[in-house]
Amino acid sequence: MMRLGVIADDFTGATDIAGFLVANGLRTIQLNDVPDAALRVDADAVVISLKTRSCDPAEAVRQSLAALDWLRARDCRQFFFKYCSTFDSTPRGNIGPVTDALLDALGEDFTVICPVLPVNGRTIYCGHLFVNGVPLDESGMRHHPVTPMTDSNVMRLMEAQARGKAGNVPAPVLDQGPEAVRQALEALRAQGKSYAVLDALNDRHLEVMGQAVADMTLVTGGSGLADGMARAWTELRGDAASAAEAGKPRQGRAIVLSGSCSQMTNAQVAAYRAAAPSLLVEVERCIAEPGYADELAEWVLAQPISGPAPLVYATTDPEKLKEIQARFGAAEASEAVERVFGALAQRLRDAGFDQFIVAGGETSGVVTQSLGIRGFHIGPQIAPGVPWVRAVEAPISLALKSGNFGAERFFFDAQDIAG
């Protein structure tokens, strides 16, 4: 029986949570989009990755409910709605509407909200979300091109887009252990709250909350919560290396594609450019020249096979990003760049490239879809929340990185693990 079914709102978020499940020894498969009814899987956990973070809320609800129906038809015991650990959703965003729709479909009226991952600096204190000790609205997420975060209070963020009320389970309650957390959750439910925002400051808090929500039908949050839940399932935990074997990359030819403009990705690109061949994607040419991807592919193919993999990047700093958006329009610029990345990935696959290291949630989704990949085996972690994955139906391996994840040498680390 499937122990956990995860509905993730983007590709990198899906691989993020899947990596933590595998690290805890759970056999995990990631599927891209809702599969057809005939597909059979044998796994402890199945992660369905959608592309619903920034789409119309009604469409996000439709896709999420379709994923829920598929999981329920396979007797899944518990459900997890996975979103970003920086809760990057505006007041018109999708986290609230999707959570409400999933609760309704399951006949439930209460769940937890916990977008945390302490190992990557995502913590919650008194219901406020912090990124490396900085309030969310003062971090680099304040300047996100699609979902600028101007508030760090998760209760307010949730209530702005959902129909219910939110309360907080503070860190001192987490310090008291799982039973204290369960009692706090019941107290919030009795007060008519629909959502409980769980504080989390450290690894111990993840373990406590994982035990506390073990019997909850629907939980929502980031991969840190799933990590804590998996640790509580001692009857399922196997050998992490064995669980990751199916997703290990094979030796091959690699390319690095970076579409994220996050602070960390800017640092990663800068570090990598100092040692590897690199080429900047020009937004104007993405919009105006249909054959631009062919030119980029020719440049990549002309680079040495030995040494660090070539880098093609659209990553830029916040000021330059503002200039680009003002000149071309945020949506048009983003869509044009992603189209070029998708076409470039196809051309490089046809030329024999079989390792794709990708930075950025939207870019990862486009690359994966362009390569026609429907599902992954989850392999070893490169960094917390970023595993290597291997396509189920093709000899292709990918490292799909959310913008702010990984250390500065992430692109080097990914290739070192791949051998």
Q: What is the pLDDT of residues 207-248, one digit of tens each?
A: 999 999 988 999 999 999 999 999 888 655 667 777 788 788
Residue carrying the six token digits 């799982």: 178
Taking alpha carbons only, the member of 244, 339, 354, 351 closest to residue 292 is 339
Residue carrying the six token digits 């129906």: 69
Q: What pLDDT does residue 384 have?
A: 86
Q: How far apart, in whole angstroms, are the C-alpha atoms of residue 211 and residue 207?
A: 6
* Residue type at 264 in one-letter notation: M
Name the pTM for this structure: 0.76
* Residue type at 121 in one-letter notation: G
Residues 6+ apart with CB under 8 A from 151: 136, 137, 157
Q: How far apart, in whole angstroms, are the C-alpha atoms of residue 205 and residue 207?
A: 5
Answer for the pair 174, 205: CB distance below 8 angstroms, yes or no. Answer: yes
Q: What pLDDT does residue 351 have?
A: 97
Task: Kindly report, residue by residue over 314-355, the tens digit of the pLDDT.
Answer: 998 888 888 888 888 888 888 999 999 999 999 999 999 999
Q: What pLDDT does residue 419 have?
A: 78
- Give 106-110 contacts, CB < 8 A, sequence gap 24+: 106/68, 106/79, 106/217, 106/218, 108/217, 108/218, 109/189, 109/194, 110/185, 110/188, 110/189, 110/193, 110/194, 110/195, 110/196
Q: What pLDDT does residue 272 have?
A: 98
Cα–Cα distances (Å) from 229 to 13, 21, 38, in that order, read 17, 9, 29
Segments of the chain with pLDDT less than 70: 88-90, 143-147, 149, 234-238
Q: What pLDDT does residue 34 have?
A: 93
For residue 27, the tally of other CB atoms under 10 A from its CB is: 21
Q: What pLDDT does residue 337 have?
A: 93
Residue carrying the six token digits 């079989």: 354
Answer for the pair 146, 335: CB distance below 8 angstroms, yes or no. Answer: no
Q: Where are the alpha helices (DSSP H) in 234-360?
A: 240-244, 263-273, 283-288, 292-301, 318-328, 330-350
What domains can be seen in the chain, in order of their start residue? 4-238 (3.40.50.10840), 248-418 (3.40.980.20)
User: Count of residues for the chain?
Assistant: 419
Q: What pLDDT does residue 170 have?
A: 98
